[in-house]
Structure 1
Amino acid sequence: MLLSPNDILLFLSFALLTGVALWLLLRPLRGEALAPGASRGDSEVALYRDQLEEIGRDLERGVIGETEAESARLEVSRRLLAADEEREKTGRTEAADPRWRKGTALLLALAVPALALGVYLAEGSPGMKGQPFAERLSVPPEELPLEGLVLRIERHLKQQPDDLRGWELVAPVYLQLGRFEEAANAWTRAMLAGGVTAGR
């Protein structure tokens, strides 16, 4: 089967969309994705070290006494040790991560396009002839679905906005489709074109 330029363009668009979807799926699996967690651990450690220095400065200036300084040092040191331990644990997790990340990334890179192609070939219609919208509306009225009939009447009413019969036909259909505002507008246009009657 020979592909037309439009078919080639369509398949290239699908390939591009698949590539973008894969990039978005694989992005969190890259090693850099865990960098924020590591930097957070570093910043916590730096913060507690700064607090220890601040306690020393406060003690020298006489803002706090020796007992308060010692108590504050113990509390900040405890938090510093916990933050340092957490940072090391995060580092070990990151070191172990690449193997499963690479495996998951490879699985996604192969599975997503294969699944998309399988679903398209099973459920889609790759060999179906293109049918422009104008051609679909040009069939006899009895072959059109209700929405197609409404579209045809709407196109007619755009060209002939004073066609009373068109407004009277489309207004009840709008009601049937639940398009109440458009139904009210259609009845108003019918009354403007043909006068106010009990039915309208």
Structure 2
Amino acid sequence: MGTPKASTPTWPVPPEGGWTADDLDRLPNLPPHTELIDGSLVFACPQTLFHTCAVSFFARQVRSLAPADLEVLGRFTIDIDRQNRPEPDVVVVHGEVVEDPTQTRFPAEAVVLAIEVVSEDSVSRDRETKPLKYARAKIPHYWRVENEDGRAAVHAFELEPTTGAYVSVGIFRERMKVDVPFAVDLDLTRIKARRAPKQ
């Protein structure tokens, strides 16, 4: 009996120097919502009910409040640089960059607001990695949505132009009311991620 042949890996093997933003459009059979962070592919884990409800809520509500010259999309990648093409859970962009139905990404300079809903596998990316990259790309507003026992807590940040870093503009529970990047008044209790207790 001969020795069995080593099986060929079924996952993509990165080239020297890592993957590039363009590779996301060329690599076959990538799972949906694959991101590129520092030249490495990041695959999305199955999402919790809270994550799904929060993404749907913010996409729907922000879309209804955004000015007509802005577009709001859920789970769409943005080009930061050659090795970073993250996919915010909700992204608000200037409408002129929405070119045609076949496009797969937006330039970071067109982004007005990026929203990330934290899940167990994305805690460090959403709290540390992505805010740094979004700030360096000069994205003016970043919201991070945390799950606090099935209730949403929104940490809102605005880019401070002098330092190029994000500063907190508030942590919101139950109600979120801000004036930038446009007027928003949200009832966060409408994010239903758990069954109401029986009376």
TM-score between the two structures when normalised by the length of structure 2: 0.20
Q: Which has the higher strand share?
A: 2
Q: Which has the higher helix share?
A: 1
